[in-house]
Amino acid sequence: MLEMFRYLIGILEKRERSDWKILILLDFVSPATDLINFSVIIYIINVVMREQQASKEIVVFTFFMGLLSILKGFFDLYKCRVQNRFLYNGSQRLSEKLCEVLLKEDLLHHNQKSPMQAVAIVRSDTQNCMNILLTCLESLINMLTMMGYFTVMLFTSKWLGLTSCAVFMLFMAGMFFYYRNQIQMYGERSRMFAIKANAQVTIAYGNFKEMKIADNADVILQRYSSVSEEYAQIQKQYQYKRSMMSMIMQNFVMTALFIILACFLNRPGEGTEIFLASMLVYLTMLIKMIPIAYSIVSGLNDMKFSQKSYEALQEGLSRYSEIRQTEREKEKYRYKKLTFQKGLFVQDLTFYYNDRKKIFEHASIEIPAGCSVAVIGVSGIGKTTFLDLILGLLTPQAGKILYDDFEIVTHTDEQGVCRANIGEITSYIPQTVYLNGETICHNVTFFAKEGEENSEKVKECLECAHVWEDVMQMPEGIHTLIGENGTALSGGQRQRIALARALYKDFELLVMDEATAALDLETEKAVIDSIRQVKGNKTILVATHHRSLADECDMVYRIENKGFVRVK
């Protein structure tokens, strides 16, 4: 836990460190005030018991202490404000960093996570980790407060206080060490089943049509119920353990109190009033220490519960540091503005995934500028992998990939090492198109900076994509909301809006990955007509298994035997 605390403190920024110091001060003020107030109450009781009456000075002093307690309330309100600022501003900053990791990491790392895992890392894990720091501080303050009560108890109850303090500490330590592994397991499983339950909701929503047609909602519901029930069981067990710890600690102390009280009441020769006064102080301190002791044990276990969130954050921030370091190193190199006058050339390419099964071996292909080129092959042969390689999303084990004279694997040109942005000259339509729930205009200008949208250009691109007439029939034209992932559109309309998005961007090379795979023949022909309109001075690279689309291209390559064979 100490390592966890040090790491989380180390990632705080200047404003957060300032809030952290303020919180430490305020967290000391609150329990210190409580301890002082309690000590004052003990003093007042002892004075009144000794003098058998309350003097005017004691009454005024007591009233004054009550007024000071109001001031403590304002301190507590300010502490709450600083604490919320520390928690939510810190969580927001960390979530931005982890979101940047998800957007900038390489494709292999990206494919290792599901959308729900990504959401958990960016949203809940960051807040859980900031809560760990607050829990650490609260536990530390509670420990110091407990030590303060122990000191008062030793002063007022001598050997009985010493014995009680030792037993209390041993009992707290035993409770923590006995339950900590179980609590950590609950935290890991709770996080896992929460992700799975959320994923089932997303899956059900994404497959709504198929589910309705097949009338198998019960199957989907059963899958959700299974993981959701597991999550609920884990949460119940965790909360039950917390309640059990509270109950055990409270009942243990209360039982001990009655036994001690019974023993002392049985002692002869002791002044009843003096005895009851000292016992009242002793019993009051023990009762006040119960919630503090529970908070300490509960806080330590909560940190164990959030262990998995901490590990996910640590891994994500490590990736963030690597990405930023890579970016800083690249900034040292000469910037090169890419050209596409000659074309794209792949030479002696070898690539395999972690399973070591080679997808390409010594493969070569030429895509001359201004030509339309189709890459065909059966499903799973490597068409998408090839596009990922030439777009720089994957790194080959060997070979060269040249955009004119710029080699994207080694980041070099004829003058040496440099940096360049492939996106300046390429536009890409993936196999699975994602459209957000906003307007058609926003989806076409998806990658444009805010305020730089051009309505006339949007219209031109929609016309070129053969979807302008459909858009004009919609209630608000290009400003019509299309629903999450374009649920208000047909499959063909979604695909053609994706084409309009690709055309909206200035490019020299248009890359399409099975862009017409889900379209009927009529819609596919409309897309092919759109390609004809731009292929005169632009380069088109299409990965497809539709021969009709491939026949429209100037050159056709087929993937076989881990290489490329030109068939047209």
Backbone angles phi, psi at 315, to 5 degrees: -65, -45
| Mean pLDDT within 102-129 | 86
pLDDT at 367: 93
Show the domains of the chain with their CATH numbers. 2-325 (1.20.1560.10), 343-566 (3.40.50.300)
Total-model pTM: 0.76
Whole-number Å distance between alpha carbons of 479 and 477: 5
Q: List pLDDT tens digits, range 1-32.
A: 778 888 898 889 888 889 898 888 887 777 77
The more confident residue out of 380 and 491 is 380
Helix (H) or strand (E) holding 197: helix 126-206
What distance in Å separates the CA atoms of residue 533 and residue 345, rounded to the nearest whole number? 24
| CA–CA gap between residue 92 and residue 126 (Å, rounded) | 8
Rounded percentage of the chain residues whose pLDDT exceeds 90: 20
Angle, nearest 10°, between helix axes 126-206 and 2-10?
90
**Nearest CA among 545, 554, 549, 436 for reference residue 501:** 436
Residue pair 387/380 in contact by the 8 Å Cβ criterion:
no
At 509-525, the pLDDT tens digits run 989 888 766 666 666 66
Better-scored residue on pLDDT, 277 or 441:
441
Q: 231 pLDDT exceeds 90?
A: no
At residue 272 the predicted structure's pLDDT band, cuts being 50, 70 and 90, is: low
Q: Binning pLDDT at 50, 70 and 90, where does residue 279 land?
A: low
- How would DSSP label each residue in 2-43? HHHHHHHHHT--HHHHHHHHHHHHHHHHHHHHHHHHHHHHHH
* pLDDT band of 544, cuts 50, 70, 90: confident
Taking all residues of the chain, what is their mean pLDDT, rounded to a whole number?
81
DSSP calls for 171-191 = HHHHHHHHHHHHHHHHHHHHH
* 87 neighbors 130 (Cβ within 8 angstroms): yes
For residue 274, the model assigns a pLDDT of 54
Q: What is the pLDDT of residues 146-165, one digit of tens each?
A: 887 787 777 776 777 777 77
The 3-class secondary structure across 45-109, one letter per residue, is HHHHHHHCCCCHHHHHHHHHHHHHHHHHHHHHHHHHHHHHHHHHHHHHHHHHHHHHHHHHCCHHH
Please state which of the ranges 66-70, 490-494, 501-505 shows the lowest mean pLDDT. Answer: 66-70
Tally Cβ neighbours within 10 Å of residue 534: 17
Higher pLDDT, 199 or 410: 410
Please tell me the predicted confidence (pLDDT) of residue 51. 64
Burial (CB < 10 A; 0-12, 13-18, 19+), residue 432, is exposed
Enter the DSSP assignment of 296. H
Give the pLDDT of residue 351.
94
Are 317 and 98 within 8 A, CB to CB? yes
Q: How confident is the model at residue 536 (pLDDT cuts 50, 70, 90)?
A: low
Q: Which residues pair with 557 in a beta bridge?
A: 375, 566
- Our measurement of the distance from residue 469's CA atom to the centroid of its chain's CA atoms, rounded to an integer in Å, reads 41
